[in-house]
Chains A and B, each alone.
Chain A
């Protein structure tokens, strides 16, 4: 692997588009994320196509046109689960956990997917001590350790948002797509979570969809603004902040 001072490409999207029937949700999206850009925040008004973009990158939806490259490899037609084995993971805007399981069982389920034991049928899961230790370590980092045996349904909304991120990082991804990690949180909880993301996920390249502008500008090293399925702006946070077009997108042109 080249680890030079030049940029190492991790994710490249080339003229990507998505139609649902006659409705074009994404049109001609191209950008490259390199290893140096640790946190790319994607903003845009509702319906701009942010989550659809994530669904295309993670492989949950097939692209209508264009290509996606992960670590230089064309993954446009690769299935969702195989992309995760290349080092991609995601979280969901609407918390999407395993409600029949306890907290630690949720985490173990996520860890198990990338462990050689995942097709093992005859040895009890509780004998896989390394999975349990890893799960407890992750829970400790998130300060959820005390609730490890709680049913997932008994956790608060803020806690389930943390678990959502935990399931995303359990596989040890190189790129993590965070779909509105702070959705539904109070302002102070959101700031706290953003700080946690900064501290915990240092080695991971993050693509973050964020609605809260304070948090978005706080997290971003680079910002991509989506508007009506197209990239309206792409640059450093200072540039985006200064761009009057972006204000128009968010506040409407009548505002000026």
Chain B
């Protein structure tokens, strides 16, 4: 086994990444806030990556889970119904599991393009419900504001930007560790098999519906985790959190980062948020530029940022082997 080197490189990159992540609160506060939002988005994008990148199900309904969790946090805390952070989190995630179990069972009856359209329609239905029939609870377009940062117990407050950043960082580490284990596991192996050739998986004896269904629910829980952090982070929730455009954003960031690559969502969220922050300080046409970037990535960098890094690494290795 002469392949020890890449492993060392992986450990070193991970250690380097950890040091950078831990040192971010030394930066000015706006940078800490930006980094926090990147981390939250990276959880959200990784939920899409699990469903689309690894399982091959293209969904336009991820915002439904992000938004459901965010709204539950907003409603429960601003009305003082439940204030304990852990209770709120558990309730929000249970709601997400219920919603995803219901819509997943229906949406997974159809495949490919139809699945995408059905998830899109469900997402839109949930958005409409939040906007109109539930207007008294959600305040429609106005949204719900003044969501306080959570107390984590043991007199740990997350009111300051750097405290909240570390709190989010821990959740990110947990989410990514879980996804890492999942992808290495027999279950994860089967998900990629379904993405690659579902027909053969059925012939081999896999009940592919159960795999897709579990993947859908897990991905919803991860998106919900991100949404719940976002509600606390931003302190304000409005219907755009449930809108299908936000589901589309997750897909776009996933493509930019690298589809089906473990670190793709982190790169995607970093590039997406960073570019938006930087470009929107020059021009208000951010959406147009975002579109152009997306087209360029799809045309010339199929593997996204993660794929690009991998290619460069391989080329360097080959160059070293030849030189």
Contact surface of A with B, Cβ cutoff 8 Å: 58, 60, 79-82, 84-85, 89-90, 92, 96-101, 105, 108-110, 112-115, 117-126, 128, 167, 170-171
Contacts and interface: CB of A to CB of B under 8 A. Distances in A.
9 contacts: A81-B204, A81-B207, A89-B205, A92-B203, A97-B197, A100-B192, A108-B189, A118-B186, A121-B181
A98 B195 CA distance: 9
B140 interface: no
Given A105-B189, A118-B190, A128-B186, 16 more contacts: A89-B203, A89-B205, A90-B203, A98-B196, A101-B193, A108-B189, A109-B189, A109-B201, A109-B204, A112-B186, A118-B187, A119-B214, A120-B185, A121-B187, A122-B185, A125-B189
A171 B184 contact: no
Given A109-B189, A112-B189, A125-B185, A118 B199 contact: no
Given A81-B205, A90-B203, A113-B204, A99 B196 contact: yes
A123 B185 contact: yes
A60 B202 contact: yes
B220 to A, nearest CB: 15
B141 interface: no
Nearest to A117: B186
B206 interface: yes
Contacts of A167: 200, 204
Contacts of A170: 204
Contact of B203 (A84, A118, A128): A84
Given A112-B186, A121-B185, A124-B185, A100 B202 contact: no
Contacts of A96: 197, 199-200, 203
A28 B204 CA distance: 28
A86 B244 CA distance: 44
A100 B190 CA distance: 12
A151 B84 CA distance: 52
B307 interface: no
Q: Which of B181, B182, B188, B197 has the most CB of A within 10 A?
A: B197
Which 8 A-B pairs have CB atoms at the shortest separation, nearest pair first? A84-B205, A124-B184, A113-B205, A121-B187, A113-B204, A98-B196, A122-B181, A117-B186
Contacts of A120: 185-187
A123 B193 CA distance: 18
A21 to B, nearest CB: 21
A109 B211 CA distance: 14
A106 to B, nearest CB: 9
B245 to A, nearest CB: 31
A81 B194 CA distance: 13
A182 B204 CA distance: 20
A69 B190 CA distance: 29
Contact of B196 (A84, A101, A113, A118): A101
B83 interface: no
Interface in B162-189: 178, 181-182, 184-189
Contacts of B249: none
Contacts of A92: 200, 203
B204 A84 contact: yes
B202 A81 contact: yes
B205 to A, nearest CB: 3
A92 B202 CA distance: 13
B187 A58 contact: no
A126 B206 CA distance: 20
A197 B186 CA distance: 30
Contact of A110 (B184, B196, B199, B204): B204
B197 A98 contact: yes
Contacts of A60: 199, 202-203
B78 interface: no
Contacts of A99: 196-197
A113 B205 CA distance: 6
A114 B204 CA distance: 9
A108 B205 CA distance: 13
Contacts of A84: 203-205
Contact of B202 (A80, A105, A114, A123): A80
Contacts of A117: 186
Given A84-B205, A113-B204, A98 B181 contact: no
A128 B184 CA distance: 11
A125 B184 contact: yes
A179 to B, nearest CB: 11
A171 B199 CA distance: 16
A80 B186 contact: no
Contact of A109 (B178, B182, B193, B208): B193
A84 B204 CA distance: 7
A119 B210 CA distance: 9
Contacts of B199: 60, 96
Contacts of B193: 98, 101, 109
A97 B201 CA distance: 9
Contacts of B201: 109, 113
A118 B206 CA distance: 9
A100 B189 CA distance: 11
Nearest to A80: B202
